[in-house]
Amino acid sequence: MAGRLITGGVVRPITRWGAPVLHRPQQPVVDYDDRLRALVADMTATMYAAEGVGLAACQIGVDLSVFVFDCPDEAGVRHQGVVCNPVLRVSTGKDRTLDDGEEGCLSLPGAFVTCARPTYAIVEGYDAGGTPVTWEGDGLLARCLQHETDHCHGTVFGDRLSTRARKRLFKEAAQSSPDFPETWPA
């Protein structure tokens, strides 16, 4: 199951910023069963319908520490997978290099601002069958792994922004809101 997304799910509406489930640490996955696989299939369908590169369970209102992703690295190599109970590692000290790229969130659709993130990330956890997995990468993949792990830990990327950048983000989201009804992308 490692490296594969589960397909055949149902597209669900994406939970918006401000919903309590997005702002608290998620419950750990303890049962690697058909219910989890069905959830992962729905998350995958929703991520693709929203044209995202990653989606955490809390983004469809489910309080569970799991995310899916389908994202290229710096070289353009596509990586896709499922991570339950993610643990993130990034470089620190003199080995740490930051990328000031733009970032957005499907829970605040249509808005993007720069957000400094380490250029390389490693995430360890389990796939939907309970097998240990490790994902690592650079570029957009590193940003995605960090962003989705943050969701599992109750952090939205706006928490990492300055007050000015956060205001700009919410202003851009408000301008885009007519394009993203509450049922989007379902």
Give the catalytic positions in this structure: 148
Considering only CA atoms, which of 96, 91, 15 is closest in space to residue 56?
15
Cα-Cα-Cα-Cα dihedral of 23, 25, 31, 35, to 10°?
10
Would you give the DSSP letter of residue 29?
Answer: P
- For tokens 């490296």, the residue is 3
In degrees, to the nearest 5, what angle opens at C-alpha 50 toward C-alphas 49 and 52?
Answer: 115
Characterise 106 by phi-psi region: left (phi > 0), alpha (psi -120 to 50), beta (else): alpha
CA 133, CA 130: separation in Å to the nearest integer?
9
Alpha helices in the chain, H assignment, sequence order: 34-49, 139-152, 163-176
Task: Provide the token pair at 63.
Answer: 């309080």
